[in-house]
Amino acid sequence: MISKEEVAHVADLARLKFTDAELQTFTGQMDEIIGMVDQLAEVDTTDVPETTQNVLLENVMREDEATLVTPRDELMKNVPTEKDGLIQVPAIIDKEED
Amino acid sequence: MDYFNTNIDQLHKDLSAGKLKSADLTADTFKQIADKDKTVKAFLALNEDDAAKTAAAIDAAGVDADKVLAGIPVGIKDNIVTDGLTTTAASKMLANFVPIYDATVVKKLKDAGMVIVGKLNMDEFAMGSSTENSAMQTTTNAWDKTKVPGGSSGGSAAAVAAGEIPAALGSDTGGSIRQPAAFNGIVGFKPTYGRVSRWGLIAFGSSLDAIGTLTRSVRDGAHLLNAIIGEDERDTTTVPRDPEDLGRNIGKGVKGMKIALPEEYLGKGVDPKVAAQIEKAAEQYKAMGATVETVSLPHTKYAVAAYYIIASSEASSNLQRFDGIRYGYRAKDVKNLTDVYVKSRSEGFGSEVKRRIMLGTYSLSAGMYDAHFRQAAKVRTLIARDFENVFKDYDLIMAPTTPTTAFKIGAKVTDPVTMYMNDILTIPVNLAGLPAASVNAGFVDGMPVGLQLIAKPFAEATIFQAAAAFEDANDYMQQIPGGQN
């Protein structure tokens, strides 16, 4: 059984926040999903290697050539707020907690 | 122009002979969309002005006889980025996102002369099996507007099946091309992992995602897939291969082909009427000279569990980039930087996306990694080995694409586990990275049934060969929603 507290902890790790009612619903659903995935424990995987990719991954090298980068004006088109050509974000230090 | 009565080869013949203008074909496409999309609701964005310009330029230059896709309209799933055209992945998170570049597949379609018509609805970030998880609108099945179009490429499938467009691109992480193709009675093709570049595809599960095609016919599918394959220096998981025509075996029949029918794909949970339709297809293949034998893929029942851990873990990592800073939704009334992240993500993501981020974060967290992620990755190896064993003796695997035909809108959306089981017959293919297609195998109670054809890695040509033989032996693909034909 996964507890509401554990779900709240996972939410914190994932940078998500839920209301108490949402947390209740999610806990029930997570518990059901984890119950479904727990059946993997019955598979004997002794000496079985893990598969994380289906293609042979190799390092790919290329010449270190200077190329034109995307112009800043283009990149700024999707930035929610900007100031003087820089991405604007709220202050990192939370003054209210000082 | 009625796309049900024609195909890309015929359109190309008319375009290159000057009997048809791409400008007229494109204008007519937008008329079809204006008419039919009122009920289908497949499109999220239309590219009307740009498409008209492209079509006019193609007409002015003339259509080359060997450029089979030139001047033909195409739709793009909304998780594939398009330069200057809104791309939302059906999420509030990206509601106003306008990419500044084209995905490799989009660039390739443009190079082939295709006319990009617009962006198609989907489950948010491709997470879902019904397109009900879209933050934008609910698309309906082309055959019955009370039913789901499937997902996550539900918009792509419904728009093609309804005759709004001749072809579309989709993406398939656990069946998201094949399942909606099955639900809408069209051809959906998921290529081998690494065959098509994922550069410009908004990532869900990076080791599973594949871009593929949705078309009215098998031959159309081969044309479209041929245009998008190939190594891409921007995606290091693309595999270097010499150029090849994936449709080269179309028309050769299936005499002598060895086909396997896995017993696990016709067992418990599969609607007996759906199973009967697939058994009928097996008899047809035998009559055409193939051998069809029952085989076992013993780890099939663990595929859904392994998939949800692996896909969700990869998703939780991929979706970290949505932090409200450089692009996408940013919450208002925030006090500090952590607040920007947490509020933007909590308000921007829908509940299915949050559920998967949570499952993924949990599976990768300290204390859970070995029991969850590592075990799932090992079971994935066993599932891939099951396929390898069968492909030692067989050219092809045939199976139903889905356990049932399309279900009612709202029927499963509140029950995640039941919804996840819907993909049990398509998921193993993604875990093993194999190519697979779904073609229309007839009807049960008026709704299309999907026949899934699976081959070994890079044997797409075998699938097209067998799919075309089946298509030619039946009139299922000519039957259309509303029964006008």
Q: Interface pTM (ipTM) of the complex?
A: 0.92
Give residue A59's pLDDT.
Answer: 81
Q: At how many degrees (to 10) do helices B218-228 and B460-473 cross?
A: 160
Q: Residue B365: its chain A contacts at CB < 8 A?
A: 10, 13
Give the pLDDT confidence of A39-95 residue by residue, as tens digits: 999 999 999 999 998 887 778 788 899 988 888 889 899 999 999 989 998 887 765
pLDDT at A98: 46
Residue A59, Cβ neighbours under 10 Å: how many? 5
The alpha carbon torsion through B106, B345, B412, A2 (nearest 10 deg) reads: 130
Residue B325 has its nearest CB partner, among A32, A45, A87, at A87
Spell out which residues of chain A touch residue B420, defining contact as CB-CB under 8 Å.
33, 36
Instruction: Give the pairing of strands B43-46 and B258-262.
Output: unpaired
pTM of the entire predicted model: 0.96
pLDDT given at position A62: 83
- For the annotated catalytic residues of B, the residue numbers are 77, 152, 176
Low-confidence ranges of chain B (pLDDT < 70): 483-485
Residue A97 confidence (pLDDT) above 60: no
How confident is the model over A23-29, as a mean pLDDT?
92
Q: Which of B426, B409, B454 is nearest to B145 (CA)?
A: B409
Q: Which helix (H) or strand (E) holds B260?
A: strand B258-262
Beta bridge mates, B43: B120
pLDDT, position B280: 98
- Tell me, what's the pLDDT at B485? 41
Q: Which residues of A touch B97 (CB under 8 A)?
A: 78
Neighbours of B283 (CB within 10 A): 10
pLDDT band at A96 (very low <50, low <70, confident <90, very high): low
Are B202 and B122 in contact by the 8 Å Cβ rule? The answer is: no
**CB spacing of B433 vs A54 below 8 angstroms:** yes
The C-alpha of B205 sits at a distance from chain A's nearest C-alpha, in angstroms, of 11
pLDDT at residue number B379: 98
In the prediction, which pLDDT does B367 show? 87
Q: What digits encode the pLDDT tens for the residues B37-94?
A: 999 999 999 999 999 999 999 999 999 999 999 999 999 999 999 999 999 999 999 9
Q: Hey, which bits of B173-224 come out as E strands?
A: 187-190, 210-215
CA atoms in the 13 A half-sphere facing the CB of B451: 31
Taking the C-alpha atoms of residue B453 and residue B462, their distance in angstroms, rounded to an integer, is: 9
Contact B464, B218 (CB under 8 A): yes
**Per-residue pLDDT, B483:** 66
Across A17-33, average pLDDT = 93
